[in-house]
Copies of this chain bind each other. A is one copy, B any other.
Amino acid sequence: MSEFIMTLRCGNRSGIVAAVAGRLAAQGGDITEAHQFDDPETGMFFMRVAFRAETDAATLRAGLDEEVRRFGLDLTLRVAGARRKVLLLVSRFDHCLGDLLYRTRIGELPMEPVAIIGNHPREALNLTLMGAIPYHHLPVTAASKREQEAAIQRVIEESGAELVVLARYMQILSDEFSAWLSGRCINIHHSFLPGFKGAKPYHQAHRRGVKMIGATAHYVTGDLDEGPIICQDVEPVSHADTPDDLVRKGRDIERRVLARAVAWHLEDRVLLNKDKTVVFAR
């Protein structure tokens, strides 16, 4: 008996749930968790089903061919809990990176970190928790961005990474690279978007005198800090907090927001809905 996770997206039409549930039942599938969402604005339908079955993913996928055709399903199906290959990028601040690696180490994140790329030398980091994970020091300047991104792309292709996580990686990806990574690159921006986009958001927040700061995990797109939002959280701050206090308080929010977003993505809980996300969280 194996556990599977299936997701599907399609234009909404009558009878999808009945058809899909019926097909799963017919294949001996036993649903353990199911979520669905109808977007009345776009007419799109989204579903995520966790189920147990005696068979294998390929057989199940084949068994759903008719529904895929009939409803035009954009379907994914994989074994639940399978570790997925992830490339992590970092700059000078490694709190998010260390947090993701620790969660992976204790088995909380179903991630196989294929490599870590940093634009600073490894010695600049505070972590030692990298074990056998290859670290690539790929410095970058305005002039060398294209080559550096090509090098990152080679690592992704050679490693088979399915997901790229910008774990406080502070370089702005080019439009082309962002497009190539569409839907599979998560960034943590250290503000509560849409406020304080761009550089030094904590300093922007301090100047504005907001009474809460936050962090936002989102998919990277060509527009800086504009991509579909996956997860956000906040903490209260006061007039007494200096920019350094905001940076300090912000680290904790960034860590948990990025970790939730990455976990949800790896568990197929996040479905793209144009400029937004549908998140079947737990």
Other-chain residue from B98, B193, B214 in contact with A102 (beta carbon distance below 8 A) = B98
Other-chain residue from B210, B234, B251, B278 in contact with A212 (beta carbon distance below 8 A) = B234
Is A33 a contact partner of B252 (Cβ separation < 8 A)? no
Q: Given A102-B95, A126-B105, A209-B229, A33 and B38 touching (CB < 8 A)?
A: yes
Q: Given A17-B21, A34-B17, A193-B195, A229 and B242 touching (CB < 8 A)?
A: no
How far, in whole Å, are A32 and B38 apart by their CA atoms in the complex?
A: 6
Q: How far is the CB of A181 from chain B (nearest CB, A)?
A: 19
Say if the beta carbon of A151 comes within 8 Å of chain B.
no
**This protein's copies in its complex:** 4
Is A37 a contact partner of B240 (Cβ separation < 8 A)? yes
How far, in whole Å, are A128 and B278 apart by their CA atoms in the complex?
A: 37
Q: Which of A23-31, A81-89, A168-176 contacts B (4 or more CB under 8 A)?
A: A23-31
How far, in whole Å, are A196 and B192 apart by their CA atoms in the complex?
A: 12
Q: Report how many residues on chain A are interfacial, defined by Cβ distance under 8 Å.
A: 68
Say if the beta carbon of A58 comes within 8 Å of chain B.
no
Residues of B within 8 A of A105 (CB): 126
Listed in ascending order, the chain A residues whose CB lies under 8 Å from chain B are 14-15, 17-18, 21-22, 24-25, 30-40, 95, 98, 102, 105-106, 108, 126-129, 131, 192-196, 207-212, 214, 228-234, 238-242, 245, 248, 251-252, 256, 259, 273, 275-279, 281-282
The 23 sampled A-B contact pairs (Cβ below 8 Å) are: A17-B21, A17-B31, A18-B18, A18-B21, A22-B22, A31-B36, A31-B38, A40-B242, A106-B126, A127-B129, A128-B129, A128-B131, A193-B208, A194-B195, A194-B210, A207-B275, A209-B229, A210-B232, A211-B279, A238-B281, A239-B276, A239-B278, A240-B282
